[in-house]
Amino acid sequence: MVVLTDKFGRGISDLRISITDRCNYKCVYCRTGNEGALYGDLAFADYLRMARVLVGMGITKVRLTGGEPLLRNGVVEFVRELAKLRPQGLKPPSQSRDSSAAEAAPLQGPADQGPTDQRPNDQRINYMKQVPRRAAPRNNNTGEVAEDRLDIALTTNGHLLADLAQPLKDAGLTRVTVSMDAVDPDRFARITRVPGGYDHVLAGIRAARRAGLWPLKVNCVLMRGFNEDQVIPFGMFAREEGVVVRFIEFMPLEEDRVWSPETVVRLEEILARMAEYRPLVEIPHARSETARRYRFDDGVGEIGIIAPVSHPFCGHCSRIRITSDGKIRTCLFSVWDHDLYAEMRRGASDEELAEFIRGVVMKKEERHHIGEPDFVPASRTMVHIGG
Ligand code: SAM
C-alpha cells in the first residue's frame, strides 16, 4: 500500500493539475480584467508523466483545473490517458465504501431531472422568485468510483461544458464541479465580465447531469457587495436542478488585492441567510472533505459550505497542486513553488522525480495565516495556481 505523507502525518492523496493559465472569464473577485495568462503550459504528455509518477506514490484523485481547463484542446484525450492509470494508494475516507453514508448522500432534485433530464439546456428559471417544491427521491447513483479506478474530476466555469460533458464522461471523467457565482443572468455577467455566459453555463450543468457526471457540484464564491443576496436563490437552484451547491468563503488570492475580512461572507452568515428560506440540517462529511454538508429539512437538495477563512481545515489537507508550467505547490498560500518540470527537463528518471516529490511534500506548510498579522500573500493568485 503506497501512501504519501508529509511531516505532519497528513496523507497526500489529492492532486490538482492546472492545464492552462488562460481563462475566458474575468471574475471580479479573481482577476483584474486586464491581465491575461502569465505562465505557459506544458504538453499533455508531461502532465501525464507527472500524474503517473504521483499516482504510483499514492495519489488516488486527480482534478483538472486552470485557468479554464476546457480552453485547452486535447483535454478529452488527456482524460482518456489519465483514466488508464491505476491508483496504488488508500482511498481517502470520502471515497471509500465505508464512508458511503457520507458520500452517497447527495440528493437529486426533482425525479425527472437526473441524467435522463429532457429539459432544454437553455430553459431559464427565475431563482429570484420562489420556486415550487416537488418531492424528490433519494439518489441511487452515488457517484462512487470503483476502487481500482483513478477518481478524475474537473473544475470548470462551464462555459464550454455543454458540448464536452459527454465526451469527457466517455473518456473516463468521474465528476465535474462548475463554478457559478450568481443564478441571476445579469448579475452573472457583471461578476464574470463576459456578456451572455449564464445560458452557456446552465446548458453545461444540464449536459453534465445528462452525461452522468455525478455528483455534480456547483461552487459559488460569495463576496460582499456582489452576490451575498444569491444565497437563497442558490438554495432554490440546488433543489430545482438537483445539484450540490457549495458556497466558498472568499480568500485573499485575487489579482486585484481587494480582499479584506469584511468582504468575506462567513459560514454562519450563509447559514443564517439560508434559514430565512428553509432550515438546513448538517449531515456527516468525511474528514478530508473541505465542505461542511447540509440538507434541507425536507431532504430535498444539498448545500455545502467551504469555509477556509472562518473554519480552516489545513489539519486535514490532502492536496498538492501542479501549476500549468509544471511547478508543485504544497499550499494555496505557498510563497514558493517547486520546479518539477525542471527536474524532468534535466532528464530525471521516474525514481528521481519521486524522490524530488517526497522532499517537496515534506515541506508542505502546516496551515495558512489568513487574517493574521504575519500573513504574507501567496506568490501566485488563484487563477495562476489552479483552484
Ligand atoms: N476556471 C475554472 C473555474 O472557474 O472553475 C477553474 C479555475 S478557478 C480559479 C477555480 C475556483 O477558484 C473557482 O471556483 C473560483 O470561483 C475559485 N476562486 C477564484 N478566486 C478565489 C478566491 N479569491 N477565493 C475563493 N475562491 C476563489
Q: Report the atom number in ligand 1 closest to the C-alpha of 68.
A: 1
CA gap 193, 47 in Å, rounded: 31
Confidence category of residue 135, pLDDT binned at 50, 70, 90: very low
Q: Of the candidates 315, 321, 288, which has an alpha carbon nearest to the alpha carbon of residue 54?
A: 321
Residue 285: what pLDDT? 86
Measured CA to CA, the distance from residue 18 to residue 245 in angstroms comes to 23
Q: What is the mean pLDDT of residues 336-362?
A: 98
- Give the Cα separation of 327 and 337 in Å (integer): 6
Ligand 1 centroid–CA 180 distance in Å is: 9
In ligand 1, the atom with minimum distance to the C-alpha of 250 is: 24
Q: Per-residue pLDDT for 114 more than 70?
A: no
- Is the pLDDT at 130 greater than 80? The verdict is no
Residue 23 in grid coordinates: 481563462
CA of 332 to the centre of ligand 1 (A): 12
- CA-nearest residue, atom 8 of ligand 1: 387
387 lines ligand 1 (CB under 6 A): yes
- Is the pLDDT assigned to residue 59 strictly greater than 60? yes
Residue found by looking up cell 498538492 in the block: 320
Q: Give me the helix-helix angle, 75-82 and 44-55, nearest 10°.
A: 20
Please state, in angstroms and as integers, the Cα–Cα distance from residue 366 to each residue in 9, 12, 59, 204, 315, following that order: 10, 13, 20, 37, 7
Separation of CA 383 and ligand 1 centre (Å): 7
111 alpha carbon – ligand 1 mean position (Å): 30
Question: Which atom of ligand 1 is nearest to 220's Cα?
Answer: 16
In the predicted structure, residue 103 carries a pLDDT above the cut 50:
no
The structure's pTM equals 0.89
Mean pLDDT of the chain: 88
Domains and CATH numbers, the chain: 4-385 (3.20.20.70)
In ligand 1, which atom is closest to the CA atom of 30? 20
